[in-house]
Each structure stands twice: as structure tokens, then as C-alpha cells.
Amino acid sequence: MSVPGAGLRTTQIYIFFIKSKEELLWPRLQGGFCTSGLTEHRGPLPLGLHFLWGRPCMVQVVVSGLAPSQLVTLRAWLTDEHGERFQARAFYRSDEEGTVDAGRHAALGGNYTGVWPMGLFWFLQPDSLFKRLVKRDVMGSPFLVHLEVFDGLRLVSGQQDNPLAACTAERWYVGPGVQRVPIREGRVRGALLLPPGPGPFPAVIDLFGGAGGLIEFRAGLLASRGFAVLALAFFAYEDLPKGLTQLDLDYFEEAAELLLQHPKVRGPGLGVIGVSKGAEVALAMASFLPQVVATVWINGTSFLYGNPLLYKGLRIPSIPYQTERMLFTELGAMDNSAIFTDPRSPACSASAIPVEKIQGKVLFVVGEADRSFNSKLFAQLAMERLPQDAYRLLSYPGAGHLIEPPGSPLCSISSLRGSPLPVVWGGEPEPHARAQQQSWQEIVQFLELQLSPALAIKL
């Protein structure tokens, strides 16, 4: 398409994959203008490029055929499985060659500023308030991310606006050959995601938080990295309890034993990764279950709040929430950061998770702008009771509660199952994006090391 004032120039938008040679690239023919590149191949491919959300690759957007110093708007958008649209836009001026390269040129404004090669993907925001981007069907379909370039400054885009160029990228949460096996054995409910091949593979249990249900996108990404991952539901799913009234550790022990008995799983130990309430559960599992040799704790607690823990006749009481301390924001959301009684109070000591019993290693991941609770304090209190060589802390200023794999847009406020009002999670977009990129690499490396056959490897 011709650009006004650009003579015979034709504007095209390209996507480059900057990744190692062993990484897979899966093009599909869907039409459009797009370029995919490995070190040895940078020629044009028809549009419809597959890439994994959370893989260690950089997707770079380049626009060519513009006039020198032309002001343009780059826009990305997708529609989730509920029909909610998420979009991001950034404003650029082309260089003297009429090119905008998101990997080299700074965005002047929009949803972000500065040089962010993945900015159009990382800073997606919902059109409606309080929506969180979560992929539910990780196996059956990708997110289709539409990339467009417009002449001039476009604060909003209507159907009458024709882009100078456009293309589409497919963002998947599973790689080729990953299998999903529904789990409904004994009391255990969830989904097992297996890498391709005969195995055996290192095993991980994946836990989310207070929303309940079954969430599989992180499990899909870990399975694509060679782990056998059990995405484990523990309430509000199928015939499990509708609400969370207590933590029955026998249930989680049953899940661990079930996973380790699978013929494609390599034991004798396994890893657990959890966020929010799931991190609390993960720390409790590591404290009582010798099978757990590697724990990734993301913005959780180290005390039991709201729900007592039961295990083989043992009962650890919980600390009641002080809900009268919640605050309402100007957007009408709940800030729950003050409802947690200070765990340093002597009255709370009986509710501490006995982390001194942990036999494996723990990776603590903290967002210092977490508005759900004081995650850094809970991590520090746990570390005080652990040997120095048993843990590592990753602490990120500006990162919020929901630290997820890279490419997951910041969700600072969202609706939550069972909550009468949206909940504040906290975080600032740019430091949160950096935290997700760096922490994911550390998490994968930690699990690879601690679940490797050489169990003597130290954190």
C-alpha cells in the first residue's frame, strides 16, 4: 500500500525471530507480509508464524517502506477466548531509511516508551476494565496477535481506519508433540502435560491461587521445555470442593505419588511451582513431603491464612483475615494488602509453615510492588528458618503480584472468582515486564538443575 508523500514506497511490516539455532520455527501459510529469521535464514515467509509464549526468543517487529521521519502508530491486538479484546499501541518516527525497528528504535509514547523489541506483546491491555489475559485452551488454539501500522498518530482505531500494512502471529503455549492427559484418578483432578518422546522426564506440580479451577498455560510452557507437568486443581473444579475451607495435604501427597508413578516420569523427587495461595501450598508440600526436592514460590505467604492445614492427624491453625481493613480504590477495586495480620506477632507463631523441615531447595520470587500482601516479608521470614544454602531470593522492585511467564501482560487489577469486587494485584508495566522475563529464565534453570539426575548439584 502506498504511503502519502513516499513516492513509490510500499509499506510492509515484518516479524523477526531472534533465537538460537536449535529453537523451532513453525510457519503456516495464511497470507500477508511477514518475515521470519534464524541466523542462517532471513528471507520472507508467508504470514502465520508460530512462536511459544515464554520461550527464550525475542520477537522483533520491523516496518519498512515509510518516508524518512514519518510518524506512525504501531498497534497489536488479540481477542481472548471470552471475546475480550486486548491491545497495545506505540508511536514511532521512522529513520532516514524509512524504517521503524522496535528492537533498535525507541517508542515515543503509547503504552510504553523506549526500546522494547517485544513491547507490543508485553504491554497489551484489555479494552474493558479488570480483565486478565489467561489462555484456557492451551492445546487447541493459539492467541492470534494482529500487528498493524498506521500513518500518523492514532489514539483510537475504528473500522474505517485502514492500516498501511498488517500481519498476524500465532502465540502458542505448547510446542509440537506436547500431549495433554486429563487426570481423574482417586481424588486427584487436573491435567498432565507431557513433552514429546519416551522420557523419562523431570516432574513438576503446577499450582495457582485463590481463583481455583484449573489453569494450564504455565504447565504447557514447562512441558515444552522438557518437564512432565501436572497442572493440579484443588478446589472449584469438577467434583472438588467449590470453595477452599482447608488445605488437605494428603490430597497433594496423593497427587505427588500419582505423578511419580507415571512411566514417563523420572524420580525419585519432583518440583512444585506455585503463585499466591499456590505458593503457600507449595511451601507446605516442601515442608512435609520428602518427594519435593525443588520449590518455586512466587508471591506467597509462609504462614497459613484463612485455611488451616491438615495432614495425617496434624492440624496447623490458620490466621483469620482482618477483612475490616480492606481499602477501596478510586476504581472501585479492593486493596487487600492490610487484611493480613503481621506474621511477626507472637500470636501467629502456631500458624507458621514449618519450613525448617524442608529437605530440598527453594527459589523465592518476589514482586516488591505486590498489593495482595507483603510477599517480601513472608519470604524473609521463611529464609530466616532455612539453611543459607537451601534457598535463593529473586526480588523485583516495581513488579506486582501476578508474576507470570514473559509475554504475559501486567494485570494490576482484575475480577476474581468468589470476590464481590475486583482485586488489586499491583505492579508497574515496565519493571513488571522485566521481572517476568528474568525470573522465568531463572525458574526454568532452577528446575532443570534441581531435578537433573545429578542430585548433588547445589542451588
Whether 370 is catalytic is: yes
Alpha helices, H only, 374-415: 375-383
Helix (H) or strand (E) holding 12: strand 12-18
CA dihedral (223, 224, 226, 230) in degrees, to 10, reads 0
State the DSSP string of 313-324.
TEEEPPBPP-GG
329 vs 309: CA distance, rounded Å:
32
DSSP 3-state assignment of 452?
Answer: coil
Neighbouring C-alpha atoms within 13 Å toward the C-beta of 208: 22
Cα separation, 23 vs 18, in Å, equals 10
d(C-alpha 428, C-alpha 79), whole Å: 23
User: What is the dihedral angle through the alpha carbons of 30, 35, 39, 40, rounded to the nearest 10 degrees?
Assistant: 70
- Residue in 262, 401, 414, 432 annotated catalytic: 401
Active-site annotation holds for 287: no
| Short-list 405, 340, 398, CA closest to 370 | 398
Please report, as a single letter, which amino acid is at residue 290. P
Element (H, E) at 436: helix 429-450
Rounded distance between C-alpha atoms, residue 342 and residue 110, angstroms: 40
Q: How far apart are the C-alpha atoms of 234 and 251, rounded to whole Å?
A: 8
The active-site residue, picked from 101, 206, 370, 414, is: 370
CB 36 within 8 A of CB 25: yes
Measure the CA–CA gap between 82 and 111, rounded to whole angstroms.
23
Task: Using DSSP, state whether 288 is helix, strand or coil.
Answer: helix
Q: Distance between CA atoms of 357 and 314, rounded to whole angstroms?
A: 15
Looking at 64, 94, 224, 276, which residue is catalytic?
A: 276
Q: Which sequence positions are flagged as catalytic?
A: 276, 370, 401
